[in-house]
Structure 1
Amino acid sequence: MNSSKWWILFLVFLWVPLQVHAQSQTLSLEDVVERFKQHSLQQELAELEKLRKQGAAQQYKSYMNPEVSIFSEQLNAGTLDYDETTYQISQPIELLGQPFLRNKSANKSSEAAELSYEYDRSALIQQVKSLYAEYWFLQHKLQVYDQALEVISQVLTSAKDRQEEGTESGLQVQRFTVEKNRYLRERNEVELEMMQVGNQLASMIISSEESGFEFQVEADLPVEPIMEDSETLKQYALEHRSDLQAIELEAEALGLKYKVEERERLPDLKVNFGYKNQSDGSEGFVIGGGIQLPIFNRNSGSITMAEAEHRSVETSLQLQRRTIHDQVDVAYRRVQNLYAQWQEMQQNPLSAEMLETARSAYQEGRYSLVELLDATKAYVDGRSLQYRITADYQQALFTLDTITSGKIFSTQNTSEQ
């Protein structure tokens, strides 16, 4: 019995640290992207949509599916019985090369689906990175409010002690109480927002088997200037954007489909080949053929629809090129503006020592109540703004990287090597 108790205690002590380690992790940006690639259900949905499109493309292909028929006749002519059996294979033949065009169109549509999936996946990764940066901001903003609350709480305690001694007015105690509750309310709002963002991020990076998964983000998000100019980024995006390449392939596929529908004006030739065996001993091969007469339907409706689809995608392609040009312009300017603002903020950095200095000055009588509260608010607002600009810069950079098909971080990584 004693031996079993020791074993139980040993297992408990072994299990608890493992659980703590498994449920609380500090994740880097690379970690969350890797976890997304391994576990994301959103990525799985995008992949299933790709498979659906590829299945539809596969369905459009032409296949040699001959029809096999067996005919058996039993005739009674007076006293004689007469039997006849025919084995026949029938195959429609499209004389103008439609099967080749269908197969080529289907292959391009399938490749377009693959490229669309690549861009959708990159957009999801951008969303994961942006959530990471937002969570980073809220985590640091929460720390700022905790620091402000600690100062206000210390001063409130001191004010209450002075009130009991008769050296502090009740009005000041009341003012500190109001400020404490205001900061507490704002702090709790930040905490709830952080929980919501954390849940969104977790839903994209954890598997369905993981439960109670908790994480933190790294302390720093490095801010570095981009190495390329706007025109270079535009040209690279137009040459490498997978969604643009997908539209180009889809336009080619629909162009081939339009040719197929035009050639379908002429009917297919149906070739029959068979073998006949009669009861009188006669036997031999049977060869025949047939063709529909296109008296009323010359496939004009399908031709019109195919032409409209082809032209629609070609127009979408031109619009998408313009959209990419504008997207890069706006995103590049946003990154530049935020970087300039971040540099400006670095000229007068704020630290937690500023808050502690203000508290000490108030307790020593060098700061008035209003000056202490102003200093606390200035610290909270200024420090929060510093974190906000850093997070905004990262999110703008993630967006620019996505719309330039990964050009930003590929350049950054190359320059660091």
Structure 2
Amino acid sequence: MSHISSRIAVLFVAVVGLLGTTAPPADAQPGPHVSSGNTSSPNPTSTRAQFVQAADSLRTVGLREALRLFRENNLSLSRAQSEAQALRGEARQARAYPNPTLQATHEPLWRGSERQSETYLNVSQQIEWSGRSAQIRAARERATAARARAAADSARLVLQVTEAYVEAATAETRLRRLRQVTDVFRQADSSMTKRRSEGDASGYAARRIRLERARYEQRLAAARLEVRNAREQLALLVLPGGTPSVAAKTLPSKRPPAISVQEALQAALQQRPELRRWQSAVEAQKAARRAARREAWPDPSVTAGYKRQSDGFKGAFLGVGIPLPLFDRNRGAAEAEAERLDAARTQQSLARREIRNEVRQAHAAYTSARRQSQLLSDELLRGSGDLLRIAQTSYDEGEMSLVELLDAADAYRDARIRSVDLRVDLWTRYFSLLRAMGQPINLP
């Protein structure tokens, strides 16, 4: 028993010794390759290096390429195009004539021991003359309306892609601006640590700089997350499945061109696919009403064939069959098509009115954004590029106080972020106006 107890004691001492050599003390700081849980913050330099390395491996696209990828890979657009092609096939089928009917009949006859027979071979063909042309035109106009509807859906989706592209490009720009300001506070923090060790700075100033740096580090981390989300959203719209993210190029710094409201309205009334859709719908309903009215006059059937009897008589025959419209004159269908025509005309008028309002609103928003960008952008950016650099140099040389450095950094960040917001608002409203005008969306 004592022998077993001694062996257990030796084993316990060995395990404790092993744990003591592998686990750090509770108050020790983890090494560079050890995860410390939630007791320490990640190294900003290594995090930034990883982000830059990931960004370098990304695919960066411009707006034109993003829209091209969208047209090639977007599933919603492919579905709308397939539906339009289906109606195009139906329109092609409407032009086909009905197939003839071939019939062979043998009639054996007998009376007592006498036997006779008759054999018929006939072909029947229905002749569509009452509403054939109207039905063909109705199917053709429905296919045209479907193509216009697909074009309208495509324009709507293109605007979504453009907005996602603008958001991705903006996120990239915001990240660069915040990184510049954060670098200033990183350098200020290092400089403050050195000055404090030399007795040239107070503990309050060091803590204040450290707090400001932490605030900008948090903003920078949020900006990185915003960039990642914007890249993934853009990839979801323009790239096939399996591609995680894609980066967008920076928006142009120049302002898009001015557009008059008369020019915008004229282009919209000529180019908007919604108007083409409802115009085709009206024409389709006109043809459908005409076909319904003509169906009161039925289509005849022509039958021709060959007859042979067992007594040697034979010959050809010809017959015509005409349905008599005594009970069904298709009046209900004609009234229904007439009401559908009125509804299509009403919808066409409503669409024109909505498009006019949409164009006017989009033009007013774009004109306002362009005016604000022209008035405020130059004023915001005047001298802001040198403001931060001068403030940082002056602070390092002791010519500027801590409060002045903080004010200069905030002023620089506000000016740059405000400039980015103005540019984003301007380009977003410009693309919205192009969409309202029915014009292709692209950079000028």
- Distance, in Å, in 2 between the alignment partners of 1:56 and 1:45 is 17
CA distance in 2, matches of 1:214, 1:196: 10
Amino acid at match of 1:273: A
Aligned residues of 1:23 and 1:212 also touching (Cα < 8 A) = no
Deviation at 1:102, TM superposition (A): 1.0
Structure 2 residue matching 1:83: 3-state secondary structure: strand
Return the alpha-carbon distance in structure 1 between the equivalents of residues 287 and 436 of structure 2: 29
For 2:85, the aligned partner's letter is L
Distance in structure 1 (CA, Å) of the matches to 2:203 and 2:335: 84
Q: Contact 2:231–2:246 at 8 Å: present in 1 too?
A: no
Residue 293 (structure 2) pairs with residue 259 (structure 1): no
Match of 2:378 in 1: 346
1:317 Cα offset (Å):
0.8
- Shift of the 75–340 alpha-carbon distance from structure 1 to 2, 3 Å rule, reads same
Question: Alpha-carbon deviation of 1:144?
Answer: 0.9
Whether contact under 8 Å (2:170, 2:250) holds in the other structure is: no
Partner of 2:395: 362
Specify which structure has the bigger relative contact order, considering alpha-carbon pairs within 8 angstroms and separated by 6 or more residues: 1
Compare 335-344 and 39-48 and name the one that shifted more. 39-48
For the pair 1:158 / 2:172, whether they are aligned, the reply is no
Distance in structure 2 (CA, Å) of the matches to 1:83 and 1:370? 119
- The Cα offsets for residues 161-183 of structure 1, whole Å up to 9 and x where unpaired, read as 44444554444444333333332
Q: Give the structure 2 partner of residue 80 of structure 1.
A: 114
In the alignment, structure 2 segments of 5+ residues that lack a partner are: 1-53
Range 378-387 or range 28-37, more displaced: 28-37
2:235 and 2:243 in contact (8 A); partners too: no
Q: What is the match of residue 252 of structure 2?
A: 220
Give the distance between the partners of 2:98 and 2:256, measured in 1 at CA.
59
Give the match's secondary structure for 2:311.
coil
- Paired AA for residue 404 in structure 2: E
Instruction: Tell me: CA distance 1:38–1:23, structure 2 relative to 1, closer, same or farther (3 Å).
Output: farther
Q: Supply the RMSD in Å over aligned alpha carbons.
A: 3.0
Question: Residue type matched to 1:135 in 2?
Answer: A
Q: Distance in 1 between matches of 2:227 and 2:337?
A: 50
Instruction: Return the offset for 1:322.
Output: 0.8
Which stretch shifts more, 29-38 or 47-56?
29-38
Task: List structure 1 segments (4+ residues) > 6 angstroms apart after TM superposition.
Answer: none
The match for 2:133 is: 100
Distance 1:173 1:56 in 2: 77
Alpha-carbon deviation of 1:359?
2.6
Picking from 269, 272, 283, the partner of 1:241 is 272
Task: List aligned pairs for 1:10-409, cutoff 5 A.
Answer: 24-61=58-95, 63-96=97-130, 98-207=131-240, 211=243, 214-218=246-250, 220-226=252-258, 228-344=259-375, 345-349=377-381, 351-406=384-439
Whole-Å separation in 1 of the counterparts to 2:394 and 2:335? 82
Q: Rate the CA distance shift 1:67–1:360 in 2: closer, same or farther, 3 A.
A: same
Residue aligning to 2:30: none
Letter in 2 for 1:308: E
Counterparts in 2 of 1:281 and 1:144: CA distance versus 1, 3 Å: same
Q: Does structure 2 retain, via aligned residues, the 8 Å contact 1:244–1:317?
A: yes
Give the TM-score, by structure 1 length: 0.82
Q: Distance in 1 between matches of 2:173 and 2:115?
A: 99
SS of the aligned residue for 1:64 comes to: coil
What's the CA shift string for 1:254-287, capped at 9, x where partnerless?
1110111122233332332222222332222233
Moved more, 183-192 or 37-46: 37-46
Distance in 2 separating the partners of 1:355 and 1:57: 67
Deviates more, 1:186-195 or 1:117-126: 117-126
In 2, the alpha carbon distance for the partners of 1:407 and 1:44 equals: 19
**How far is the alpha carbon of 1:326 from its aligned partner?**
1.0
Label 1:188 to 1:79 Cα distance change in 2 as closer, same or farther (>3 A).
farther
Shift of 1:212: 6.7
User: Residues 121 and 246 from structure 1, CA distance in 2 versus in 1: closer, same or farther, beyond 3 angstroms?
Assistant: same
Tell me if structure 2 keeps the 8 A contact 1:233–1:407.
no
State the AA in 2 paired with 1:272: T
Letter in 2 for 1:46: A
Segments of structure 1 that go 5 or more residues without pairing to the other structure are 1-19
Residues 100-123 of structure 1 show CA distances to partners (whole Å, capped at 9, x for unaligned) of 111122222223333333343343
State the AA in 1 paired with 2:163: S
SS of the counterpart of 1:348? helix
Distance 2:199 2:380 in 1: 40
Measured in 1, the distance between the counterparts of 2:336 and 2:253 equals 52
Task: Indicate the SS of the match to 2:380.
Answer: coil
Structure 1 residues 184 and 60: alpha-carbon distance in aligned structure 2, compared to 1, 3 A threshold: farther
Contact kept in structure 2, 1:400 and 1:408, CA below 8 Å: no
Q: Percent identity?
A: 28
CA contact (8 A) 1:129 1:398 kept: yes
Give the whole-Å Cα distance in 1 for the aligned partners of 2:246 and 2:256.
Answer: 29
Deviation at 1:250, TM superposition (A): 1.7
TM-score, length of structure 2 as denominator length: 0.77
1 CA distance for matches of 2:399 and 2:56?
49
Report the number of matched residues.
389
Bigger mean CA deviation after superposition, 244-253 or 341-350 = 341-350
Work out whether residues 32 and 205 of structure 1, in 8 Å CA contact, stay in contact via their aligned partners in 2: yes
In structure 2, give the amino acid aligned to 1:102: Q
